[in-house]
Amino acid sequence: MSESLGNLESKESRLRTFLSATAPILALALLTIPIKTVPEQFEALKRFIPYMQTHGSKADSVLFIDHKQPYGSEGDYFCELIFYTRFKFMSSECNQADLKTRKTSPEWILTSGDQESDLCLSAETLRLYPSRLRFGNQVILSKRASMTSSAEFDLTPSINELRANQNGEGIPYRKNMYFTPRVNQE
């Protein structure tokens, strides 16, 4: 019995030696090697929030329309927007969005849709929001006319930021479940 106990202690000692030698190397590797475990969760918000911070004020409010969002829920967007902007957060279902917009008159509206008809708002309400930023199928509408030089500005090409251009040809958008690239229909 004491012989098997000694053998067990010897194996345990070797295991401790192995772990203490490899743990710092493994920790260093995990810190220095970029390992993507999941896709970026809020790529559109990552691009919208700087505009909101620059052109908004702490008295602003944002209406989140829960419609065709590629990921996340009202609670996820609430946390992100409150943390980075401190704007008053409201939400609405698509079928109530136009009414809620008229009642509360938010400065910002975050919604999704490929076409204007997909945004859950009437043409009359959309006219109140002259500035639009788009990323994939997500859109942020703003009452701030000075935010962009044109009525709608598509930020989708910014997905290629810091990616090297190879062979002098354009870099295609990544295709994934988080956005659908827009196709110009001329």
pLDDT tens, residue by residue, 96-129: 999 999 999 999 999 887 777 678 888 898 888 8
> Could you tell me the pTM of the whole model?
0.64
- Per-residue pLDDT tens over the stretch 13-53: 888 998 888 989 888 888 888 776 666 677 888 888 888 88
The DSSP annotation for the chain comes to -HHHHHHHHHHHHHHHHHHHHHHHHHHHHHHHS----S--S-HHHHHHHHHHHHH--TT-EEEEEESS-SS--HHHHHHHHHHHH--EEEEEEGGGHHHHHHHH--SEEEEE-SSGGGGSS-HHHHHT--EEEEETTEEEEES-GGG-SSSEEE-GGGGGTT----TTSPPPPP-BTTB-------
In percent, how much of the chain has pLDDT > 70? Answer: 72
Q: Which CATH architecture has domain 43-160?
A: 3-Layer(aba) Sandwich (3.40)
- In the chain, where are the structural domains located? 1-35, 43-160
